Amino acid sequence: MTTKKSMLEEVKLFVGKHFDKTLHFERTVYWLKQLKPNVDEAMEIAAYAHDIERAFGRATIEFWKTHALNDSDYLKNHQEKGAEIITKFLQEKGYPKKDTKRIAEMVRLHEVGGTEEADLIKDADSISYFEVNAPKHIEKFGKPLGKAKLMTKYDFMFNRITSKKAKEICQEWYAKVVKEAEEQL
C-alpha cells in the first residue's frame, strides 16, 4: 500500500533536488512552529521554500564584492523569483489556488515582511540564519568581502526581526557571531 505524500513533502523533495543545503530551510520551519505552534501546511511550505530562488540564481562572491549583502534590488528580485518558482511548482502539482497565492505572498515578502504571515516567515528565517548560516558566513563572506559588509548583513538580519520572542531567541547567536567577526576579521 502506498501513501500519498503531503505537499510539504513534495516541496522538500523539489527543493532538495535543486539545493543541497536544506538545513536552513528545515530550521526555518522549526522556528516558525516555535513562534506560532498552530501553523498550517501553507505556512510550512512558505517557510521551507522561502529561499528557493538561490537554487536557481545564485549570486557569486564577485557579485557581492560590488553589492551590499542586503542589497534591496537583489532582495526584491530574490523574493519575486522565489515566489514565481514555488507558484509554478504548486500549480503543476494542482495545489489549491488560494493556498498557492498565500504561499507566493509569504515568499514574496519574506525578506521585508509586511503581513502577519510574512513577518513570521521573516522572523523564523532570521533565527535560522543566525543558528545555521551566520557562523559559516565569517569564512564564506567575511574574508573575501570584509568585516563591514558582513556586519551589515548581521545587523540587517537581526534588526528586521519583528517579534520580541524572535529577538530574544536570536540575541545570543547574534552577539556571538558579531564577536567572532570582530575577532577574526
How is residue 12 written as a grid cell? 522538500
> By three-state DSSP, how is residue 80 classified?
helix
pLDDT per position as a tens digit, 80-138? 999 999 999 999 999 999 999 999 999 999 999 999 999 999 999 999 999 999 988 88
**The pLDDT of residue 62:** 81
How is residue 99 written as a grid cell? 493556498
Decide if pLDDT at 4 tops 70: no
More confident residue, 29 or 67: 29
**The pLDDT of residue 2:** 43
Decide if pLDDT at 64 tops 60: yes
At residue 145 the predicted structure's pLDDT band, cuts being 50, 70 and 90, is confident
Decide if pLDDT at 176 tops 50: yes
Quick check: 170 and 127 in contact, CB under 8 A? yes
What is the identity of the amino acid at 57? G
**Cα 152 to Cα 4: distance, rounded to the nearest angstrom:** 44
Q: What is the pTM of this model?
A: 0.93
> What does the pLDDT average to over 129-149?
88
DSSP string for residues in 100-123:
HHHHHHHHHTTTT--SHHHHHHHH
Average pLDDT, the chain: 92
What is the identity of the amino acid at 30? Y
pLDDT per position as a tens digit, 38-57? 999 999 999 999 999 988 87
